[in-house]
Amino acid sequence: MAESKPNQPKKPNPPRAAAKEPRKPLQVMHISRKNEKESEDTANRAPLNGNQKDDEGNKNVVTSPIKPISSEGRNSEGKTDHPQDDEITMSELLDRGESNDEIIHNQIISSQQENSLSFSERIVDEFDFDEDEFLAALDENQPIGNTGEIAKGKVIGVESDGVYVDIGGKAPGFMPKNECGLGVITNIKERFPKDLEVEVLVTREQNADGMVTISCRALELRKSWEKVQKLEKEGVVVQVKINGFNRGGVTCDLEGLRGFIPRSQLENGENHETLVGKTLGTSFLEVNPDTRKLVLSEKKAAIARRFAELEIGQLVEGKVVAVKPYGFFVDLGGISGLLHQTVITNGSLRSLTEIFKQGDLLKALITDLDPKRGRIALNTALLEGPPGELLIDKGKVMDEAKERAIKAQSILKTKQENTNNDNL
């Protein structure tokens, strides 16, 4: 074993002498591609020895010799190298790589040009295009049954959970059991025998298999709402059967729809639970298919029936229920009429209470009817003989009101005819 040398302390490096002259700024040298190739050629032409001297005689230039390649493709160290016999420089390798890339790039461009020429030469007729077949394919694949659309078809199958109906699509429509109609269906097979023609409403568009969801119940409900809206517009009084009650009122059934009558709209609202099973005449308060609200009124129906019994020029008798600055409100048996201050008398009226007071009975002529707004216009001035007779002898005017009304009715009839002619 070699003897280990004792550790000796390192001698400190002597301080560097201060620079006598300031350093010059660094300069950037631009080396072009041409200079790099010339330097490589110079290095390749150098002798294959290890070191050589430069122009000043210093051994600072190191060359990397390229070893010769034998005919067997191996260098002097026995390693596989380039298969050529001649020596190859680095610049030749770079030039060869660039030339190969250019060759490949040119081949790609030429192939693309050939393909584009071949496609441009082809015409539509070579594809055997047929417009009729194309349109037929579109019709065959066109989806049948949009949401909200009414469709007709035949029953092709009945299962425990629903009915299959052929409506002309790629796949039959499916109608769940709870959508087969209004109310409870006990025997679905008897209700929908095979080949039965039905009309349904599409409630959900086709799925991935081409099947749509359909409903008889939704179609019947739509038709019921349309019918109820028409009845409301015409102001018809409908008869409904009370089938339930709650704290707010009673419930009923109308055209398969659930209706509600508030207690405030019942003539006997205090004991409304006793109305279950009875039939009432009602009118419409609210019909809203979007919110599914159907609100009815028995009192409004009574008013509608009372309006149906009245006509312009008719003599009515009522009781003063309210005195207002502009006239009297008169109860005519469930409905109120207004006797305006301008048509009470043809004389000079200083105060309304000079003629009538609250609770007095009076007779008056109907001069205007508005069933939709529930308004009735009354007139007592037409019953007078001389102007202001009601102020002098009210009792005589009221006693002779029936005979005087005949003369007044002819006047009202003439006025109404003149108004109709002006409107035309």
pLDDT digits (tens, 9 = 90+) for 320-334: 999 998 999 999 887
- For residue 348, the 8-state DSSP code is -
- Under a CB-based contact definition with an 8 Å cutoff, are residues 408 and 382 in contact? yes
Confidence at residue 116, expressed as pLDDT on a 0 to 100 scale: 54
**CA dist., res. 164 & res. 138, Å (int):** 25
Distance between terminal CA atoms of the chain? 140
Helix (H, G, I), strand (E, B) or coil at 200: strand
For residues 363-384, b (16+ Cβ closer than 10 Å) or e, as one string?
bbbbbebeeeeeebbbbbbbbb
Biggest alpha carbon–alpha carbon distance for the chain? 161
- Under a CB-based contact definition with an 8 Å cutoff, are residues 192 and 180 in contact? yes
Confidence at residue 99, expressed as pLDDT on a 0 to 100 scale: 55
Specify the pairing of strand 150-159 against strand 336-340.
unpaired
Confidence at residue 241, expressed as pLDDT on a 0 to 100 scale: 93
Set out the domains of the chain in order of their start, with CATH numbers: 141-220 (2.40.50.140), 235-303 (2.40.50.140), 310-418 (2.40.50.140)
**CA dist., res. 390 & res. 346, Å (int):** 9
**CA dist., res. 80 & res. 82, Å (int):** 7
SS3 content of the chain, % helix, strand, coil (to 5): 35, 25, 40
Confidence at residue 73, expressed as pLDDT on a 0 to 100 scale: 44
Confidence at residue 4, expressed as pLDDT on a 0 to 100 scale: 47
- Under a CB-based contact definition with an 8 Å cutoff, are residues 166 and 212 in contact? no
Q: How much is the pTM? A: 0.52
Confidence at residue 361, expressed as pLDDT on a 0 to 100 scale: 92
Closest CA to 37 of 97, 87, 98, 90: 90
Q: Checking phi first, is residue 164 left (phi over 0); if not, alpha (psi -120 to 50) or beta? A: beta
Ranges of residues in the chain whose predicted pLDDT is under 50: 1-5, 17-20, 30-32, 43, 46-86, 98, 117, 119-120, 124, 126
